[in-house]
């Protein structure tokens, strides 16, 4: 009996972060320019990763970025609002899931621009991606991938 409880406890410990991520992403909305197709490709990457997302085309994307505190130098192609966070641009899924699992006290994360080889973008990745924290003050590195 004790061994079963130990095994069950270990299974719960391993699956808890995945469950927390799945529960925190039910209201994900990806805002994009109406003409942008790579944003749709990123939405498909999110969905394949188990994140339910609604895509909304908007002509006021720049204003939306400002409203959510995304500095100009950290802006990407689209803006994803997920749980209480902003995910800006083509951020790799491992970092989105890390953000949701760790829940740091920041506004969100960003992979600025539209780097080739990032999720939803064509081309080869030529160098590691630097994902930044969106928060107060100077940008800090959240991850390199």
What CATH number did the domain enclosing 103 receive?
3.40.30
Model-wide pTM > 0.85? no
DSSP secondary structure letter of residue 102: H
**Distance between CA atoms of 122 and 141, rounded to whole angstroms?**
24
Residue 84 lies in a domain: yes
> 78 lies in which domain range?
21-144
User: Order of strands across the sheet with 141-144?
Assistant: 53-57, 28-32, 79-82, 85-89, 108-111, 130-134, 141-144
Q: What is the pLDDT of residues 29-77, one digit of tens each?
A: 999 999 889 999 999 999 999 999 999 999 999 999 999 999 999 999 9
Residue 28 lies in a domain: yes
**Distance between CA atoms of 32 and 21, rounded to whole angstroms?**
23
Q: Map tokens 């989105």 to a residue.
A: 96
């Amino acid at each position: 009996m004790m061994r079963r409880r130990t095994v069950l406890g270990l299974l719960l410990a391993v699956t808890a972060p995945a469950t927390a991520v799945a529960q925190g992403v039910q209201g994900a909305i990806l805002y994009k320019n109406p003409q942008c197709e790579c944003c749709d490709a990123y939405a498909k990457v999110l969905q394949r990763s188990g994140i339910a997302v609604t895509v909304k085309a908007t002509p006021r994307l720049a204003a939306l970025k400002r409203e959510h505190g995304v500095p100009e130098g950290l802006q990407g192609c689209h803006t994803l609002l997920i749980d209480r966070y902003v995910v800006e641009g083509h951020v790799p899924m491992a970092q989105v899931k890390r953000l949701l699992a760790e829940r740091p006290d920041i506004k969100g994360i960003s992979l600025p621009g539209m780097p080739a080889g990032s999720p939803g973008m064509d081309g080869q990745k030529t160098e590691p991606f630097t994902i930044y924290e969106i928060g107060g003050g100077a940008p800090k590195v959240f991850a390199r991938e």
